[in-house]
Structure 1
Amino acid sequence: MSRATAIPIIGALVVAVVGAGVLVRLLVHNSPQEAPARASPQPAPQPEWARQAVLANPADGEVIYVRGVNNIPSCATCHGEAGIPEGTSPYPRLAGQSAEYVAKQLDDYARGVRVNEQMTPIARALNVQQRAQVSRYVTTLKPPETALSAAALNERGRQLDEVGDNDLAIPGCGNCHGLRGRGEGVMLPPLAGQPRAYLVSQLNAFRTQRRQNDTVEIMEGIASRLSPEDIEALAQYFSSLRPLRAEAAASP
């Protein structure tokens, strides 16, 4: 083969090789790309207080509730042996509350999310397991049956419970806590029969943001739009939903 003939042939080979490379790159570039695999959504890890509250033994919690432990006073001292404090008490009724709700409140006290001069040191003196045990024991306390006490019923409180107040952008309390304060689910506590002084103190705590452990901040917003008179009306209304047994005993 002469040199004159070889040069065009070599040139053609070079062009073919380069062209093939360009073609391959174009095909790779234009071919549909596989989307990267999307990670499956994972549920948020359950907090330790919630896991412990499910597993705890209520019998262990009874000792803490009734007798106290490690120089910590018994819960019954303030909340009553049956979980129902005196009507004029500033302490909440625990009978009928869920273990999850009580465990969260104790955890919030221990972490300083919810602050109370009596409950904060008590919650911090108990470990996670002990807080769970006493929370589980609370679920064994029978809640009082409640009914409207017509003589003490406050009409404004009833309105705020059943309807709310559109002008103030306040939904009815019953939307979350159940009509007439019966409670809903495990994290929306019953309000019926709670002591008036306790309800006033907690609504005012939400109103002034001294209590900020409402996860979705609904209570802070609602309480901020309540007047002192409305807070008193709600406290009077819910505290007037007395246990049926108490009403029967008071009847002539």
Structure 2
Amino acid sequence: MNIQHFYLLAPLHTGGTTQEGNLLGIARESHTNYPYIPSSSIRGKIRSLATNPVTKIDLFGPELNSPESKEYEAETGKKIDQLSQGSIWIGDGSLLWIPIPSLSHGVIWISCPLLLNRYARVANVTPQTSIVPYLCNFQQANEKVYLKDAIFEPSDLTQWQHWQQFIPTQLNAAIERVLVLPDQHCATVIQMGLWRQVKIKLDQHKTVDGGFRYEEAIPPDTLMYFPWGTTSQTSNTSQAETDFNSLLTQHQILQIGGQESLGRGFVECF
């Protein structure tokens, strides 16, 4: 299993399965209600970046009677007469750290034991500190921390010496203040910290047609990740991993989800 990180450069919206009232929500995990990026969205975007038909079909599988399939048959001499699985599987994109405004510290990136322990298992990280609530890396004597509607006294927080274990080296300077909240409180704070935009529809006379609606998005500066690997039927694992890594290296800035024309969904991939 390999791991790839996303650092959001713009709000990211991946459509959910339901729409409640005038709120257009985002995709959420059913058991935690945390936002996530469906693996199909990630896979579809990366697949579209592959320009070599042989590499595209080897990694992601063929589409019957498509131009790529015909080029693949002509170049390799292999006949594609049925759908088959590619050599790469891609998992869902999960939250790791999400930025929340703070009256006392500007921005604080929050997470919780559930998210951090999930990352530790996927990324093969052995925590040097037990992941418990209220770990932070910016505690100072007699300094209160204001986070949304919550106020933390210095005695509530525990200094965290090994927080960099859960921050990729490429982002050590980008994420400076982190705080671990209990699972249930983290879900509430994340819900309040989502990006929401009011949208209206205008008719041909530039007047409002209908009512307002709200669209959710995961905020910029959020750190996410997704696992990937090779399928069990892959004949050349090292070649498949090399081709996939090369594809990601060539496209370190991706645009995922909807609202591309509005400049949404830009992520840095590393």
Is the TM-score greater than 0.5?
A: no
TM-score, normalised by the number of residues in structure 2: 0.19
Larger radius of gyration: 1
TM-score by length of 1: 0.20
